[in-house]
Amino acid sequence: MERRQIQLPLSEQAVRSLQAGELLALSGPLYTARDAAHKRLTETLRQGLPLPVDLQGQTIYYAGPCPAPPGQVIGSVGPTTSGRMDAYTPLLLQHGLRVMIGKGQRSPDVIAAIQSYGAVYLGATGGAGALLARHVRSSEVIAYPDLGPEAIRRLVVVDFPVIVLIDTKGNNLYLSGPAQYRRDR
């Protein structure tokens, strides 16, 4: 199956066109943020303060990159378990976050928020961080440098391989995939 070429950031219409199970190749800017950064972002919002990055229409990749080896842009940049961000995700979606990339299932509250705010959840292959790093063309810390690898970084990626896990309609590959497998047996 061929990957659909996608340019980031995505418009609302483009996000709504994605379907669970679809393979994508992302190109453009995205942001890394893990649980410590998510906690700070939500605390900032609850205090009524401006965020260090405008989330409107943006993509967050749940990753904490390793340091860059000599001559490389970034070290290994594999996905972390998305469920660790579930407590923070609905509020960030409410404030314009459109695309999330990670691994693992999401809570019912997050799935409901994905549907409510017209967002999408994409999966990157766990254990393939060194291979995924080959798709990163630039990396810059833009917020919370004290968090080290968990700082928010702006990455520019080219043909970054992902799969649509949960689409805007709530179709969930973690449910439909095993069901399809059972039917095909």
Catalytic residue among 38, 103, 135, 153: 38
DSSP symbols for 86-147: TTTHHHHHHTT--EEEEBS---HHHHHHHHHHT-EEEE--TT-HHHHHTTEEEEEEEE-GGG
The residue ranking higher by pLDDT, 178 or 59, is 59
Mean pLDDT over 172-183 rounds to 73
pLDDT classification of 175: cutoffs 50, 70, 90: confident
User: What is the arithmetic mean of pLDDT over 95-123?
Assistant: 97
**Which of 161, 126, 172 lies closest to 2, judged by CA?**
161
* Adjacent-strand bridge partners of 122: 101, 164
Burial bucket for residue 170 (CB in 10 Å: 0-12, 13-18, 19+) = middle
Contact predicate 122/173, CB 8 Å? no
Do the strands 152-166 and 120-123 form a parallel or antiparallel pair, or are they unpaired?
antiparallel
Q: Which residues contact 162 (CB under 8 A, 6 or more apart)?
A: 23, 24, 25, 26, 101, 122, 123, 124
Residue range 4-184, CATH number: 3.20.130.10
Residue 178 clears pLDDT 80, i.e. is over it: no
Catalytic site includes residue 38? yes
- On average, the pLDDT of the chain sits at 95
Q: Determine the Cα–Cα distance for residues 11 and 68; give it in Å rounded to an integer.
A: 31
Name the residue ranges covered by the structural domains of the chain: 4-184
Distance between the two ends of the chain, CA-based, in angstroms? 21
Mean pLDDT over residues 138-144, rounded? 97
164 beta partners: 122
Task: Give the separation between CA 179 and CA 121, rounded to whole angstroms.
Answer: 19
pLDDT at position 102 over 60 = yes
**What is the pTM for the complete model shown?**
0.94
CA 83 to CA 95: how far, in whole Å? Answer: 19
pLDDT at 181 over 60: no
Instruction: Say whether pLDDT at 76 is over 80.
Output: yes
The span from the CA of 122 to the CA of 24, in Å, is: 9
